[in-house]
Chains A and B, each alone.
Chain A
Amino acid sequence: MTTATVNGTRERESLGEFLLRAPAVGPALALIVAIVFFSLATDTFFDLDNLSTVVQQSLVVGTLALGQTLIILIAGIDLSNAASMVVATLIMAKLAAAGTNGFVALLAGIALTVLVGLFIGTLVTRIKLPAFIITLGTFTGLTAVAKLIAGGQAVPVTDGLLQWLGTKRYLFGGIPITYGMTLALIMYLIVWYSLTKTAWGKHVYAVGNAPESARLSGIKVNRTVISVYLVAGFCFGIAAWQALGRTPNADPNQFQLGNLDSITAVVLGGTSLFGGRGSVLGTLFGALVVAVLRSGLTQMGVDGNYQDLATGALLIAAVVVDRIARRQQQS
């Protein structure tokens, strides 16, 4: 590194700076490369129905990752998001099975994930313990709650509204689009707009970059942090709705690795685990890359363990790129 020519260094710096300015470019390129590769490598991958399927496969993790992005932007982390989501699916399913109106059941599930967000946000700001520890505890507790609610039994869902995101679809330019895809896109757009165009978004980035400076410049840090956990909690509630649209069966054993899958999508999307840098657009691409890899490799007949290996390698590569970019920013 240090022996590189002046020219080479300058080029690397400019690349690093470019990536810092536009963190979604890397994951977008990775997504395009993956799609082109699988389209050439198989006869079956490039097909509008299949592309729609791949997007549907990434919806739950993608919606979890949307909330996770906000939390990681303030240098936090949420290990309990998928567990909270699973509890919400069970609440929705159980209430619906007991004859409760689907809309009420849906609201009850979302209320739960928002309350969990409030709980975590309050602890993080009041007790000043690392989010990692607090959400680890929440994760363990919520996993138990899910199993207690279910009593070991998956709960089938027949309510129309609860399945609506998966069952209703329309054609857009020949591509089958479900309401779940539409809703996810709208949520990504709203969060993207809030982060880039509003004062709240600037506060989120400032708190993630340097909380003390943010406080000194008059930003209410605690309020921002709690608002992030609340918005993220809402996303996790929507993820629960997405999950029931995909699989109309609330099962406490599903999405056991959903928390890690969401972090994978965020990191692949170029958001820094140290906070303050990243974008939801990158997360969208990050979530899609994972689903594209799985689908494409399966169609090539590649064993599941090698698929995990490929995802892991890509993840490490993404972190290395983030690190290099940061170092060049500092020098």
Chain B
Amino acid sequence: MRQRSLSALALAAVVGTVLGTAGCTVERHWGGNTTPAGSGKARVGLVTKTDTNPYFVELRNAAGAAAKANGADFHALAGQFDGDNDGQVRAIENLMQQGVNTILITPSSSTGVLKAIKDARDAGVLVIALDTATEPADAVDATFATDNFAAGQQQGAYVKASLGGVDPKLLMVDGTAGSSVDTQRHGGFLKGIGLTDSSPEIKGHTNAGGDQSQAQQGMENLLQRSTDLNAVYSMNEPMGRGAYAALKARGLTGQIVMGSIDGGCEGVQNVKDGLYAATVMQFPKKMAEQGVLAAVEYAKTGKKPTGFVNTGSTVITDKPMPGVPSQNTTWGLQNCWGGAK
């Protein structure tokens, strides 16, 4: 008997918690509260992929600060994990319910949230994609993002210049297979270094999903096949650290030029410490600020931005190469995102 009442109590607690949580996100009819554009006050909603990644933390903080400086209302929501389309759709619905007139979104997948975006635009909301483009790109009004192909190309050009005319013998550490950012950076890198996917100069590749420990394992396995190398591509900085651990264990760090992409403070510090030769910095703060300014403009005048706005990317290295514009790590540490500056 006692067991049973305990079980009932536990079940009641679970059900109560579930209902309580659901209450915040319960489905509502929305769209009625949307403030019409041109009426003055900007009400900005931001939807990021997650709310714990330092990149998105920087994006959120910068957008919040810009909104405050411009007298705009600001609400930030996020998915629970990378790829949480459903959570992002719910976030868009909640923001509509709160009556925003601009939504800034870093879509978890380039296609997963298109319907919710269309509903929002149909209701008169300005939608701007930050950081990650949608497919098709005109599913949103405008995209403010890093040109990832260009970022990859800068990394490729740097590595090529560092090799100083020697033929590359390249290992590639890719992210999540098939993701648009991964494809663009990978393609850009190959263009920058002057290779194609079928070039014999590519000695192997591994997909590590952005995970440091997976990158280390994949690299260890690739190095077992051959250590006759001089170049490594890493799609982001955590994977660059993983690849470095594998290279260091083999004593190969001296003969290899490795590049990376992101510009997180830890990544810039890695460059300064010599883990890899260069990283390509992107600027989440710019994306957020420009997005908020566009929202303010839209609220005032009804004018919408259009197309792809490249927020730029910069090579960070302490070993500059002729023909590859770059900044040093001191500049990098002043402009990096995430972590202590």
- Point out the residue from A53, A57, A129, A254 that lies within 8 Å of B211, measured CB to CB: A254
State the CA gap A304–B206 with chains docked (Å).
Answer: 7
Which residue on chain B has the smallest CB distance to residue A126?
A: B6
- Point out the residue from B204, B218, B238 that lies within 8 Å of A301, measured CB to CB: B204
A5 smallest CB distance to B (angstroms): 46
Verify if A99 is at the interface (C-beta below 8 Å from B): no
Please, what's the 1-or-0 string for B223-234, where 1 marks a CB less than 8 Å from any CB in chain A? 011100000000
Asked whether B338 lies within 8 Å of A254 as measured between CB atoms, the reply is no
- Point out the residue from A251, A256, A305 that lies within 8 Å of B238, measured CB to CB: A251
Most buried by A among B210, B224, B245: B224
Which of these binds chain A: B49-57, B185-193, B284-292, B309-317? B49-57
- Please give, as numbers and ranges, the residues of chain A lying within 8 Å of B6 by CB-CB distance: 126-127
Which of these binds chain B: A40-48, A224-232, A266-274? A40-48
- Please give, as numbers and ranges, the residues of chain B lying within 8 Å of A12 by CB-CB distance: none
Verify if B10 is at the interface (C-beta below 8 Å from A): yes
Tell whether A44 pairs with B225 under 8 Å between CB atoms, given A152-B338, A305-B177.
yes
- Please give, as numbers and ranges, the residues of chain A lying within 8 Å of B220 by CB-CB distance: 53, 57, 295
A261 smallest CB distance to B (angstroms): 11
B59 smallest CB distance to A (angstroms): 11
Verify if B221 is at the interface (C-beta below 8 Å from A): yes
- Point out the residue from A44, A150, A256 that lies within 8 Å of B224, measured CB to CB: A44
- Point out the residue from A127, A256, A298 that lies within 8 Å of B206, measured CB to CB: A298
Instruction: Classify the interface of chain B: helix, strand, loop or mixed.
Output: helix
Tell whether A152 pairs with B3 under 8 Å between CB atoms, given A246-B213, A251-B238, A254-B212.
no
- Please give, as numbers and ranges, the residues of chain A lying within 8 Å of B224 by CB-CB distance: 44-45, 47, 49-50, 53, 295, 299
State the CA gap A49–B220 with chains docked (Å).
Answer: 11
Asked whether A304 lies within 8 Å of B339 as measured between CB atoms, the reply is no
Q: How many residues of chain A get a CB closer than 8 Å to chain B's CBs?
A: 39
B246 smallest CB distance to A (angstroms): 9
A63 smallest CB distance to B (angstroms): 14
Asked whether B52 lies within 8 Å of A154 as measured between CB atoms, the reply is no
- Please give, as numbers and ranges, the residues of chain B lying within 8 Å of A156 by CB-CB distance: 266
Size band of the interface chain B makes with A: 20 to 34
Verify if A326 is at the interface (C-beta below 8 Å from B): no
- Please give, as numbers and ranges, the residues of chain A lying within 8 Å of B207 by CB-CB distance: 303-305
Which residue on chain B has the smallest CB distance to residue A297?
A: B221
State the CA gap A153–B242 with chains docked (Å).
Answer: 16
Verify if A147 is at the interface (C-beta below 8 Å from B): yes
Asked whether B54 lies within 8 Å of A247 as measured between CB atoms, the reply is no
Asked whether B225 lies within 8 Å of A299 as measured between CB atoms, the reply is yes
Asked whether A42 lies within 8 Å of B52 as measured between CB atoms, the reply is no
Verify if B216 is at the interface (C-beta below 8 Å from A): yes
Q: Which of B1-31 contact A (CB under 8 A)?
A: 3, 6-7, 10
Verify if A151 is at the interface (C-beta below 8 Å from B): yes
- Please give, as numbers and ranges, the residues of chain B lying within 8 Å of A237 by CB-CB distance: none
- Point out the residue from B54, B217, B242 that lies within 8 Å of A294, measured CB to CB: B217
State the CA gap A129–B8 with chains docked (Å).
Answer: 11
Asked whether B52 lies within 8 Å of A147 as measured between CB atoms, the reply is yes
Verify if A249 is at the interface (C-beta below 8 Å from B): yes
Please, what's the 1-or-0 string for A111-154, where 1 marks a CB less than 8 Å from any CB in chain B? 00000000000000011110000000000000000011011111
State the CA gap A49–B225 with chains docked (Å).
Answer: 12
- Please give, as numbers and ranges, the residues of chain B lying within 8 Å of A57 by CB-CB distance: 217, 220
Asked whether B7 lies within 8 Å of A127 as measured between CB atoms, the reply is yes
Verify if A252 is at the interface (C-beta below 8 Å from B): yes
State the CA gap A97–B212 with chains docked (Å).
Answer: 20
Verify if A328 is at the interface (C-beta below 8 Å from B): no
Tell whether A152 pairs with B54 under 8 Å between CB atoms, given A247-B212, A255-B213, A304-B177.
yes
Q: Which 6 A-B residue pairs are closest in the complex by CB-CB distance?
A: A298-B221, A147-B52, A304-B207, A152-B54, A152-B52, A299-B225
B positions within 8 Å CB-CB of A = 3, 6-7, 10, 52-54, 56-57, 177, 204, 206-207, 210-213, 216-218, 220-222, 224-226, 238, 241-242, 245, 266, 338-339
